[in-house]
Amino acid sequence: MTPPILSILIAAHNCGDFLAKTLDSIIASLGKALVRTEIVVVNDASTDATQTIIDDYALRLPQLRHSYVDYRNVGKVRNHAVKLACGDYILMVDGDDQLLPGALQDRLQTLQKYTPDILLSQIIEVRHDVPALQWQPSDPELLPRDEAIERFLIHRDYQAHFIGQFFSRQLLQQHAFPDFICYEDTWLFPLLLMLSEKTLFTRSGFYLYRKHGHSLSTAIDERKITCLIAATQNMDEVLPAQFEHLITCHWLDIANRYHPLLSGTSQGHQVNSRIARVSLVRFLLNRKIRTSYKRKMLAVRKRNR
């Protein structure tokens, strides 16, 4: 049997209302390339009809393999799925999202032609009904390492989403996700950008990301803030010093968005100490820093006097 080119990994938790549409969209997106692909579904302690849907599709799709775990931890689920994967490349899909028809068939040709370590593209955010969009392919551009990191840090074109992006299996198998309940991708993404020898980007989006109010990163609490702080701290540790100011913007976002939760806490002290170590004059004179973040910096410094 010919090894698959692509492993599509689906983390599924109580997504019975959406999973069938997700799987149907993957099949339609692959087209004739389905035979060169495997689909690995990991059911993490679902209590709805998720497993029934998985079993039904497994009977009809020889390319589909599945596993049941009781981790209740997205970092552990992703690591488990990566260990099961056999493809040259890995694409992660959430169990309530969809892909555009024909897109993956085209993307597999891109992966085979250019053999990148990472292939990135914009994701399409949807909040209610899934729009009727057509796949419009475009040639990828090669990103030098520093440019790939800079685009990530300023949220230009892509963010720290593993969903909808292609990574070489070898790269992912060598570097595991942390055992986080969320922001596991924010922790690992910058490290892989550092290690990638060939990173490609295309503006042709094919991944429809369903943004909803009960997303892990939407309903914030102390445990999630702990993960976010750890992920942002890891940016400081793995990225070169030249990106300190752009990373500081991420610390400023934490300080501003979650000030009520952080006020008077050790976490709040950690965040404010990290921001305070940056030279205010150099930060304000840095042309790569948007004016909005310069204002946030002044506001945080004033609040912490």
> Is residue 131 located within the same domain as residue 268?
no
For 120, residues 6+ apart whose C-beta sits below 8 A from its C-beta are: 143, 148, 157, 158, 165, 166, 199, 200, 201, 202
Domain membership flag for residue 228: no
> Is residue 96 located within the same domain as residue 173?
yes
Secondary structure (H, E, C), 213-249:
CCCCCCCCCHHHHHHHHHHHHHHHHHCCHHHHHHHHH
Output the pLDDT for position 245. Answer: 98
Domain membership flag for residue 60: yes
> Is residue 186 located within the same domain as residue 293?
no
**Number of domains present in the structure of the chain:** 2
Is 48's pLDDT higher than 90? yes
Residues 224, 34: Cα–Cα separation, whole Å: 37
> Is residue 196 located within the same domain as residue 153?
yes
Domain boundary among 189, 210, 231: 210
Is 275's pLDDT higher than 70? yes
Is 243's pLDDT higher than 60? yes
Domain membership flag for residue 29: yes
234 is written with which tokens?
Answer: 């890891």
> Is residue 180 located within the same domain as residue 254?
no
Closest residue by Cα to residue 94 from 36, 34, 161, 171: 161
Strand 207-210, strand 124-126: pairing: parallel
For 288, residues 6+ apart whose C-beta sits below 8 A from its C-beta are: 150, 154, 245, 246
Is 148's pLDDT higher than 70? yes
Closest residue by Cα to residue 40 from 7, 1, 78: 7
Burial of residue 28 (CB within 10 Å: 0-12, 13-18, 19+) is middle
Domain membership flag for residue 275: yes
> Is residue 91 located within the same domain as residue 133?
yes
> Is residue 253 located within the same domain as residue 201?
no
Strand 98-99, strand 207-210: pairing: antiparallel
Domain membership flag for residue 232: no
> Is residue 253 located within the same domain as residue 199?
no
> Is residue 32 located within the same domain as residue 127?
yes
Q: What's the predicted TM-score (pTM) here? A: 0.94
Domain membership flag for residue 215: no
For 134, residues 6+ apart whose C-beta sits below 8 A from its C-beta are: 100
Instruction: Write the CATH number for 116.
Output: 3.90.550.10
Domain boundary among 163, 195, 210: 210
β-strand partners of 10? 41, 93
Q: What is the pLDDT of residues 186-231, one digit of tens each?
A: 999 999 999 999 999 999 999 999 876 555 555 678 899 999 999 9
> Is residue 73 located within the same domain as residue 144?
yes
> Is residue 17 located within the same domain as residue 112?
yes
Residue 42's pLDDT band (cuts 50, 70, 90):
very high
> Is residue 255 located within the same domain as residue 193?
no
Output the pLDDT for position 178. Answer: 97
For 263, residues 6+ apart whose C-beta sits below 8 A from its C-beta are: none
Domain membership flag for residue 154: yes
Q: Which domain holds residue 257?
A: 240-303
Is 59's pLDDT higher than 90? yes
Domain membership flag for residue 268: yes
